[in-house]
Amino acid sequence: MTRLQAARDRNGNPFVINSAHRCGLHNARVGGAPLSQHLKLAVDISLKGHDRHILYQNCKEAGFTGFGFYTSFLHVDLGRRRHWFGNQKAKQLWQIY
Ligand SMILES: [Zn+2]
């Protein structure tokens, strides 16, 4: 939460959170990965109203280490350093890495 607030402070505008902590049952129901970081703390931030690259930069500077790039949201977590794309369209949209 501290990192999330730090990212929001840097960004200077509100975050709309699509998904955050999930219990095991909910994670299974929404088709989340069995070892999903959403079972610990992961947050999906809606891209609506944001410059996605500035949002990503601010989350990185706030200390998040895991990033999932999607067409409508940015997934951030504190798991091991890694990144992935939701699909090919997301990869084209982000044009990063
Ligand atoms: Zn997520």
Beta-bridged to residue 68, according to DSSP, are 75, 84
Could you tell me the distance, in angstroms and rounded to a whole number, from the CA of residue 94 to the centre of ligand 1?
Answer: 16
- The number of domains in the chain is 1
Say which residue the tokens 């939460």 belong to: 1
Count of CB atoms within 10 A of residue 90's CB?
A: 17
Query: What are the residues whose beta carbon lies below 5 Å from ligand 1 (ion)?
Result: 42, 44, 75
Q: Determine the pLDDT at residue 44.
A: 96
Ranges in the chain, pLDDT < 50 = none
- Cα-Cα-Cα-Cα torsion 33, 38, 40, 45, nearest 10 degrees, comes to 150
Please give the model's pTM, rounded to 2 decimal places.
Answer: 0.92
**Per-residue pLDDT tens over the stretch 53-80:** 999 999 999 999 999 999 999 999 999 9
Range of the domain at 45: 2-94
Could you tell me the distance, in angstroms and rounded to a whole number, from the CA of residue 43 to the centre of ligand 1?
Answer: 6
Specify the CATH number for the domain of residue 72. 3.30.1380.10
Could you tell me the distance, in angstroms and rounded to a whole number, from the CA of residue 18 to the centre of ligand 1?
Answer: 9
Could you tell me the distance, in angstroms and rounded to a whole number, from the CA of residue 12 to the centre of ligand 1?
Answer: 22
